[in-house]
Amino acid sequence: MIDLSKFSYGITSSVVTSLALIVGLNEINNPKMSIIGALLLIAIADNISDSLGIHIYRESQCSSTKNNTRVYTSSNFLTRLTVTLIFVLLIMFLPIQYAVLSSMILGLSLLSVLSYLIAVNQKRNPYLAIVEHVGIAVVVMITSHFVGPAIINIFNRL
């Protein structure tokens, strides 16, 4: 069986952060370029930051093997990069309305499958896990939908 802990953080972080950006920046002028630029920044800078955080966290646990720490760090980086680049491709090649909807469907589906697998592995109710995790992601997207344009309006007045 696949060790989900090597991928769970990367998938979750990438999906929630990317969807928040996509939904939050969807209403601005030229949203495709702004969203793609923001996603690429996140794919690199935030990803490196999170991967370093995971690396240091794993080291602080006095992990017996450095190789294990490197595996978690690398798998997080590659998972986040891959998921974020998939969102970039959707934004690049689909009309913006379809790209946003497709990104939401893909992201929430990834989160649902991950939640299901983790819950089954832990012998918990998978549907409650899905509702909990997808619910949090939806709250983040709704918040971004309102906060993104509000921030843009504030800066447009300056």
* 123: phi then psi, degrees, rounded to nearest 5: 55, 45
Q: What is the pLDDT of residue 71?
A: 85
Q: What is the pLDDT of residues 36-49, one digit of tens each?
A: 999 999 999 999 99
Q: Does 106 reside within a domain?
A: yes
Contact of 111 with 12, CB cutoff 8 Å: yes
Contact of 75 with 7, CB cutoff 8 Å: yes
Domain count, the chain: 1
Comparing 38 with 60, the larger pLDDT belongs to 38
Q: What is the pLDDT of residues 81-118, one digit of tens each?
A: 999 999 999 999 999 999 999 999 999 999 999 999 99
Comparing 64 with 22, the larger pLDDT belongs to 22
Q: Does 33 reside within a domain?
A: yes
* 126: phi then psi, degrees, rounded to nearest 5: -65, -30
Range of the domain at 26: 8-152
Helix, strand, or coil (residue 1)? coil
Question: What residue has token string 């450095």?
Answer: 66
